[in-house]
Structure 1
């Protein structure tokens, strides 16, 4: 009888630990292994272009347990000529993950098994589009850099659940918005770490967002997008394109807005007057990125709203 009682206690202990671990890591497990899609249009074997390029084994965002290789780090380091070695990078990450959540966190979708995402770019083609209500309707609304909503709600919506940024495009977020940090150099990590370091009062010195809602792009994911999706064209992918590809990894249904030029060929932003008709996409392979987005749309893998 005593043996049976001890076995029962041991079984209960194992079950309790299992439940705890499942609850603790469910957010990241959901990122890597999405539940069965229940959307009207789900990713499938019919999405030829997607399946030729998508690699779900690549983690889009870093966690405390991410195994980044030194080769992947060296590819990323040379983008901005970082002088710090791999050990310094890992030590900086270790400090950061003692402050922010050790695993990226996503909210649950309104409909179980169907997480819908709006990826909102900054193209001038959003002006007069009246996409605002459709953007706000999605579970997750990801905005890029400093793209504003105030005064443009009718065209771009008012909700923001995730804001992609790096120091040069940084802004202070409210307590409910995820800071999605795109790191291009070691100083970007140091900047983020410095945002949450505490002073003598015990409070962060220069808080940028809720420390529990921070997500950091994986340098290996940046390399994967550049090589697999863009065939090594350009120096590195644009922030907008990497955001869109990351959405394919974390969402069941993707709606893309504000990408590409307008009908007159302008690459300006929707909140700024056009500075020059000769404005190009810099180090980013704009034509290849737009062609990839267009291909995903033509195969009905994503919903692509081209605006005006």
Structure 2
């Protein structure tokens, strides 16, 4: 073997070692997937989706803030494959609503996944995909906006808690593909909508089993619906591990745990390519209230001490400022 060939091999080996070490360091410091690292280092311009603006596409210096928080190794939804919680996560999750003597989680989840889909969902990211999503909050700033048809033009329309559409279609749309709720905020859904349960305790998982089958559970820490209308084949479970990741990485421990609105937004950010956000924040007069309420002083929900609404909204504004989402502030 010639000396020139040996030198080329040594040079190539050294380069590969350096790139491997750098990828290792970045994976622990920025927590970004190696794909993004190599794109950044090598100057590749390949897009991560076929939308005009892709959430995960790296194109400017603003992306460092986003990638320090964004971690695709956490998936928003539970499946049978991802149903085991780390001990630290389980202890944190069980402390959110201080459930006494919780049932065995493994047994409960086994029962649950015999009733609802157990496979992984929304792991189909691809450069040829463009999944557009509208996240529709419940703010009174949606009134008299005429956003309805624009909201409904997205592939996914994500709503939350007890938000109605009937009678408000012109402003909020009529389409709902995903509806996030917890037992205390539950509402009936049509057969085409995916119910996404946000469980804050093991009893919440038992509740959804009961609400779809026997109706035995009628109370958690307050009275709840014994039965719920929903398509069992479309019921999904928000992953407590993902919930903790949002609390730690995005909210930095502010509040006791994230609000349904912020969890809905983060769900969209992690499964969609393009996200439009409506109905977040106060109206133009500074009032915090729901769009279906006539009482503009009905924003007492912000004063519960459970969620840090101001911090959550500031993160939402930052996402919009860095062009990761498009925020429509209404009136």
Give the TM-score category using the shorter length. Answer: 0.7 to 0.9
- Could you say which residue in structure 2 is the equivalent of 1:14? none
Q: CA deviation at 1:167?
A: 1.3
Helix, strand or coil: the match of 2:313? helix
Q: How do 1:232-271 residues align onto structure 2 when only pairs under 5 Å count? A: 232-271=253-292
CA contact (8 A) 2:81 2:120 kept: no
Q: How do 1:196-235 residues align onto structure 2 when only pairs under 5 Å count? A: 196-197=212-213, 206=227, 208-235=229-256
Higher relative contact order (CA 8 A, sep 6+): 1
- Could you say which residue in structure 2 is the equivalent of 1:172? 188
Q: CA deviation at 1:101?
A: 0.5
Structure 1 residues 167 and 98: alpha-carbon distance in aligned structure 2, compared to 1, 3 A threshold: same
1:39 to 46, 51, 56: 51
Larger radius of gyration: 2
Helix, strand or coil: the match of 1:242? helix
Q: How do 1:1-308 residues align onto structure 2 when only pairs under 5 Å count? A: 36-43=48-55, 44-45=57-58, 46=60, 47-66=63-82, 67-84=84-101, 88-105=104-121, 113-197=129-213, 206=227, 208-274=229-295, 276=297, 279=300, 280-282=302-304, 283-308=306-331
| Separation of aligned partners in 2, 1:134 and 1:281 | 32
Helix, strand or coil: the match of 1:92? helix
RMSD: 2.4
| Separation of aligned partners in 1, 2:299 and 2:288 | 9
Q: TM-score normalised to the size of structure 2?
A: 0.76
- Could you say which residue in structure 1 is the equivalent of 2:22? none
Deviations 1:30-55 (A, max 9, x none): xxx9x940000012223333212111
Helix, strand or coil: the match of 2:159? strand
Deviations 1:249-302 (A, max 9, x none): 110111111011112111100000225277334211111111101001011111
Q: CA deviation at 1:108?
A: 9.1
CA contact (8 A) 1:121 1:240 kept: yes
Structure 1 residues 227 and 106: alpha-carbon distance in aligned structure 2, compared to 1, 3 A threshold: closer
Where do 5+ consecutive residues of structure 1 fail to align?
A: 1-32, 200-204
| Separation of aligned partners in 2, 1:61 and 1:107 | 10
Structure 1 residues 246 and 277: alpha-carbon distance in aligned structure 2, compared to 1, 3 A threshold: closer
Helix, strand or coil: the match of 1:304? strand
Deviations 1:100-146 (A, max 9, x none): 1002545999x950000101000011011111111000000011111
Where do 5+ consecutive residues of structure 2 fail to align?
A: 1-34, 36-46, 216-225
Q: TM-score normalised to the size of structure 1?
A: 0.81
Structure 1 residues 307 and 191: alpha-carbon distance in aligned structure 2, compared to 1, 3 A threshold: same
Deviations 1:189-245 (A, max 9, x none): 11101123369xxxxx94531111011011111111111101101111100001101
| Separation of aligned partners in 1, 2:282 and 2:291 | 11
